[in-house]
DNA sequence: TGAAATATTTAGGTATGCCTAAGTTCTGGC
DNA sequence: GCCAGAACTTAGGCATACCTAAATATTTCA
């Protein structure tokens, strides 16, 4: 409503929907920034592929273009689109950290709330919570928070984190991050004491269920993780 | 986007626009809950009267109806509409208080940010900030924060606050609240030391400018307030 | 009371962003 | 190289919520 007034405390262009597309492309494309297909975006955002095509044409036609789009061959973020995507990701992860640390949210609830609020906070709000939190580099799930200039904290530049499911029996690694998408999973992991920074040792993979037996920290007890769970945990081998 | 999914963390019906209308009717109608005309709503929301008519028809046709609407004679909140309006006002004022007290916002900036965020926070967020703030009864501008059940903290049930401009020369009164709408005004008042709880004594009204000469607290110096300023300050005579 | 001024409603249009259904283009296995 | 099925695009609609212009109702006041 209210005519052509800009909606978000005077921030850059783009509606809520635009933001969602840019973030989706950013998340699906990964660090390699590969071309992303309409169908992938559609299922990520839980909308139809037809809707995606239309929006991609608009994003590509925007001034400046937010994506580079070749019909039938996928999209990619442009310079401006990537900048905006990083802003949104920064908002999201700062809000998650804020909700957990300042408001005491359980970590399985922060994602949903941040998903909504990330579109509506002002630069001032972002700046205030970043200051209050001491300009954190990682959110509660272990994901890197982009800096204001769009740069990502490097992590240990040695090895890129890999899925827990990739470890060999006997290997030990530190949890780098866990997926924030599934609250049930997060509750389960919290109950097992698994969170970023914790050391895990893969004991064995059970032959029939395919589940992973893992030792958490220095505890005696083994913990059993299903395949999807083990794929949602990224670890860094020391 | 996302089909018919409810937008606000599973709260009651109503879009952002719906909320704005209900809040406007609530604010314009005042405690007496008098009938409110389309034009008043239109100018409050800075939209055209034609848009208002359309929306009022929808609000009246909703199940349950959110307003009681008689064509050409104005609207009024229904029971359900009033409940929702109070929820929004509670959100708004809690957010304002939170921004000021927890995030250190200057008081002239809290309104704009709250105006946006009030539509998007979940019940959980509301509950957490209310708890963090110790369930405050008044926001930084002195406005009463409705309780969860919709009741308003009574103020001193003795006299209803009146505009500072209604005082007679020589009278002393305590500032109950100031309007939160105009940031410039708020900055000016803050600079003069005028805020809720402060005691003011009206010295005189200047004959030509119409401005009010006021003594703030126990200070020696007089402070000059223009008519609109003096009308935006509500005071309670002791 | 009746006409002018004001308030309100109706009718028709715009933009966003989603949908379904019906093509079209691409790709991989034979 | 061809063709089936998957991926993608086009075309046509719908809902929301705003707009302008024109018509109508209400109020005011001489």
The answer, yes or no, to whether residue B129 has pLDDT greater than 70, is yes
In a domain, A178, yes or no: yes
Can you tell me the distance from the alpha carbon of B66 to that of A219, in angstroms, rounded to the nearest whole number? 58
Query: Is there a domain that residue B206 lies in?
Result: yes
Token digits for B151? 């009741």
B122 to chain A, any CB pair closer than 8 A? The answer is yes
- Alpha-carbon span A233 to B12, nearest angstrom: 36
| Distance of residue A123 Cα from the nearest chain B Cα, in angstroms | 10
Helix axes A38-45, A16-29, angle to 10 degrees: 120
Work out whether strand A74-77 and strand B67-70 pair parallel, antiparallel, or are unpaired: unpaired
Average pLDDT over residues B40-69: 96
Contact B191, B180 (CB under 8 A): no
Q: How are strands ordered across the β-sheet holding A222-225?
A: A162-163, A233-236, A172-178, A199-205, A212-216, A222-225
User: Which residues are within 8 A (CB) of A22 and not within 5 positions of it... i.e. 6 or more apart?
Assistant: A14, A59, A66, A67, A77, A81, A84, A85, A88
Residue B215: what pLDDT? 93
Has residue B70 been placed in a domain?
A: yes
Distance, in angstroms, between B199 CA and closest chain A CA? 32
ipTM above 0.90, yes or no: no
Torsion of CA A154, A155, A157, A159, to 10 degrees: -140
How confident is the model over A100-115, as pLDDT tens digits? 999 999 999 999 999 9
Among A2, A3, A128, the residue with its CB nearest the CB of B103 is A128
Is residue B187 one of the residues assigned to a domain? yes
Three-state SS annotation for chain B: CCCCCCCCCCCCCCCHHHHHHHHHHHHHHCCCCCCECHHHHHHHHCCCHHHHHHHHHHHHHCCCCCEEEECCCEEEECHHHHHHHHHHHHHHHHHHHHHHHCCCCCCCCHHHHHHHHCCCCCHHHHHHHHHHCCCCCECCCCCECCCCCCCCCCCCCCCCCEEHHHCCCCCEEEEEEECCCCHHHHHHHHHHCCCCCCEEEEEEECCCCCCEEEEECCCCCEEEECHHHHHHEEEECC
CATH number of the domain that A68 lies in?
1.10.10.10
Q: Is A115 domain-assigned? A: no
Q: What angle is formed at CA A217 by the lines to CA A214 and CA A219, rounded to 5 degrees?
A: 80
Q: What is the pLDDT of residue A155?
A: 56
CB–CB contact B113 A103 (8 Å): no
pLDDT band at B12 (very low <50, low <70, confident <90, very high): very low
pLDDT tens, A141-186?
Answer: 999 999 999 888 765 555 678 888 888 888 899 999 999 988 999 9
How many helices (H) and strands (E) in chain A?
Answer: 8, 8
Contact A126, A14 (CB under 8 A): no
Q: What's the pLDDT at A11?
A: 42
Task: Say if A109 is an interface residue toward chain B (CB within 8 Å).
Answer: yes
What is chain A's Cα-based Rg? 19
Q: Is residue B105 part of a domain?
A: no
Q: pLDDT confidence of B81, banded at 50, 70, 90?
A: very high
Which of A17, A109, A121 is the closest to B124 by Cβ? A109
Reduce the DSSP state of residue A37 to 3 states and report it: coil
Please give the residue range of the domain that contains residue A190.
162-236
Least CB-CB distance to B2: which of A46, A121, A122? A46
The CATH number of residue B229's host domain is 2.30.30.90
Domain edge (last residue) among B80, B100, B130: B80
- Element spanning A188, H or E: helix A183-192
Percent of chain B with pLDDT over 70: 92
Which is more confidently placed, B121 or B9? Answer: B121
Task: State the average pLDDT over residues B86-102.
Answer: 97
Specify whether the CB–CB gap between A171 and A237 falls below 8 A: yes
Q: How does B2-11 read in b/e, with b if 16+ C-beta sit within 10 Å?
A: eeeeebbbeb
Ranges under pLDDT 50 in chain A: 1-12
Q: Structure tokens of A23?
A: 């973030």
C-alpha to C-alpha distances, A51 to A20, A46, A55, A140, nearest whole angstrom: 13, 10, 6, 33
Q: Hunting for tokens 């100031």 — which residue is that?
A: B178
Higher pLDDT, residue A74 or B218: A74
Q: Which of A9, A47, A113 has its CB closest to that of B1?
A: A47
CA distances from A182 to A108, A111, A179, A214, A228 (A): 8, 9, 7, 21, 11
3-state secondary structure of A135: coil
Distance CA B154, CA B147 (A): 11
Rounded CA separation A38/B97 (Å): 43
Distance B68 CA to D22 C1' (A): 27
Crossing angle between the packed helical segments A16-29 and A49-61, to the nearest 10 degrees? 100
- pLDDT score at A221: 82
C-alpha closest to that of A138 among A183, A174, A187, A192: A174
Q: Please, which residues have CB within 8 angstroms of residue B127's CB and are 6 or more apart in sequence?
A: none
Which one-letter DSSP state was computed for residue A150? S
Strand D: protein residues, Cβ closer than 7 A: A 1-3, 37-40, 49-50, 52-54, 56-57, 71-72, 74; B 15-18, 20, 45-48, 50-51, 54-55, 58, 72-73
Single out the residue of A96, A102, A117, A119 nearest to residue A181, CA to CA.
A96
Q: What is the pLDDT of residue A184?
A: 92
Q: Do B124 and A132 touch (CB under 8 A)?
A: no
Compute the Cα dihedral for B46, B49, B53, B54 and give only its sign. Answer: negative
User: What are the chain B neighbours of A9 within 8 Å (beta carbons)?
Assistant: 112-113, 116
Q: A-chain residues within 8 Å CB-CB of B109?
A: 124
Footprint of strand C on the protein (CB under 7 A): A 15-18, 20, 45-48, 50-51, 54-55, 58, 72-73; B 1-3, 37-40, 49-50, 52-54, 56-57, 71-72, 74
Residue A148 in domain? no
Give pLDDT, residue B7: 36
Taking CA–CA distances from B132, the nearest residue in chain A reads A103
Half-sphere exposure of A172 (CA within 13 A, CB side): 8
Shortest alpha-carbon distance between residue B167 and chain A (Å): 37
Domain-terminating residue out of B80, B99, B119:
B80
Question: Mutation test of the interface with chain A: which of B9, B14, B22, B116, choosing the one with the most A Cβ atoms within 10 A?
Answer: B116
The number of folded domains in chain A is 2
CB contact under 8 A, B45 and A1: yes
Q: Parallel, antiparallel, or unpaired: how do β-strands B212-216 and A212-216 relate?
A: unpaired
**Interatomic CA distance for residues A203 and A225, integer angstroms:** 11
Asked whether residue B225 carries a pLDDT value surpassing 50, the answer given is: yes
Residue A38 lies in a domain: yes
Task: From A39, A62, A80, give the residue that closes a domain.
Answer: A80
């Amino acid at each position: 409503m209210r005519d052509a007034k800009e909606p978000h405390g005077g921030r850059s262009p783009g509606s809520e929907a635009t933001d969602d597309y840019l973030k989706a492309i950013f998340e699906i494309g990964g660090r390699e920034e590969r071309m992303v297909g309409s169908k992938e975006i559609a299922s990520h955002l839980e909308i139809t592929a037809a809707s995606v095509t239309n929006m991609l044409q608009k994003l590509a036609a925007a001034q400046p273009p937010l994506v580079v789009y070749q019909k039938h061959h996928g999209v990619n973020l442009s310079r401006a689109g990537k900048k905006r995507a990083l802003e949104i990701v920064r908002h999201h992860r700062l809000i998650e950290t804020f909700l957990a640390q300042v408001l005491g949210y359980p970590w399985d609830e922060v994602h949903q709330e941040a998903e909504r609020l990330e579109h509506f906070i002002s630069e001032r709000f972002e700046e205030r919570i970043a200051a209050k939190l001491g300009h954190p580099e990682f959110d509660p799930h272990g994901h890197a928070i982009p800096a204001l200039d769009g740069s990502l904290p490097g992590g240990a530049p040695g090895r890129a984190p890999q899925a827990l499911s990739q470890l060999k029996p006997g290997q030990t690694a530190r949890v780098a991050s866990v997926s924030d998408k599934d609250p049930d999973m997060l509750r389960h992991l919290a109950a097992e004491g698994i969170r970023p920074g914790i050391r895990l040792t893969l004991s064995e993979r059970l032959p029939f269920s395919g589940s992973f037996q893992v030792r958490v920290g220095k505890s005696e007890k083994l913990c059993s993780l299903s395949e999807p769970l083990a794929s949602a945990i990224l670890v860094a081998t020391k």
